[in-house]
Structure 1
C-alpha cells in the first residue's frame, strides 16, 4: 500500500513535486559513501518510480550521470539543489532528498545508516551498511 503524497520542492521553489514513499516510508532513510554522495551530502529516502510527480518546473530539472552512467541525478537548474535520483542499485526506485520534502529536515533523524556505494553491489561487491551518522542536538544554556 502506497503512503500519502508528500509535497516537495527545491530551495527556490522552481521545481515542485509530490512524493509517495516506498513501503517503510521514512524508515528507508540513508546516506551513501560513494564519491558523489560524499560531496553532495544529502540524506535520502526511497520512492518507487511511480512515486514522484513533478507538478512545476520539469524544464528546470537538469540531470547528472557519472562513472557507469546508470544513476540519473536530478537538480534544479536555478538553485542547484539535488531533488531526487533514479538509483543504480535499484533502477525501479528513486532516492529522494529528504530536505526537499515539506516539513522534513535531515536533522529530524537521530541516526542515518550509510550504505557502501564505494563497493557498489551492482559491481559484485557485498555493499550494505558501512556506518551510521548520528545527530545529537546541543542543549542550549537557559
Structure 2
C-alpha cells in the first residue's frame, strides 16, 4: 500500500531531546504489534530501511533491551525512558520508528496495519 506523500526527511527525538534522529520516508503505512513489549509501550511505528535512518545525537544515552530470541534490539533513552526506535527481528535491515517521536508530522491519513508479534517463533 503506498501513499502519494513524497519521500522526505523527518526529524525526531526522545522526550528530553538527548536522542535525536532523522528518517527519510513517504509513510506507506504505519504498524502496531501485539507482542508483549509493543503492547506495553503502545507504539505506532513506521518501518524504514537502515540507509534511511540517521542517529544524529545521543548514541551514548541509549539503553538497549533484548528479549525472547535476543534478535530485535529495542532502544530507550536512559534519561527520559522514551522508546524512539528499534532494530527489527524479522527484517533486520530495517528500523522501526516510533512515529510519536517525530516532529510535526500529520499521519492522520496514513493506514495503520496491525502485525502479529506474539505468535512469532
Q: Normalised by the size of structure 2, how large is the TM-score?
A: 0.87
Shift of 1:3: 2.7
Asked if the contact 1:30–1:115 (Cα under 8 Å) also holds between the matched residues in 2, the reply is yes
CA distance in 1, matches of 2:106, 2:13: 13
Give the structure, 1 or 2, with the largest relative contact order (CA under 8 Å, sep 6 or more): 2
1:126 equivalent in structure 2: none
- Indicate the structure (1 or 2) with the bigger Cα radius of gyration: 1
Runs of 4+ in 1 over 2 A off after TM superposition: 108-112
Q: How does 1:58-77 map to 2 (within 5 A)?
A: 58-77=59-78
CA distance in 1, matches of 2:62, 2:51: 18
CA distance in 2, matches of 1:72, 1:29: 19
Note the aligned Cα RMSD (angstroms): 1.9
Shift of 1:111: 5.3
Q: Normalised by the size of structure 1, how large is the TM-score?
A: 0.75
Asked if the contact 1:5–1:20 (Cα under 8 Å) also holds between the matched residues in 2, the reply is yes
* Unmatched segments (≥5 aa) in structure 2: 1-5
Residues 78-111 of structure 1, C-alpha deviations (whole Å, 9 max, x = no match): 11110111111100111000011111367x3575
Q: How does 1:1-142 map to 2 (within 5 A)?
A: 3-21=7-25, 25-104=26-105, 108=108, 112-120=112-120, 123=121
How many pairs were matched up?
116
Residues 43-67 of structure 1, C-alpha deviations (whole Å, 9 max, x = no match): 0001111121111111101111000
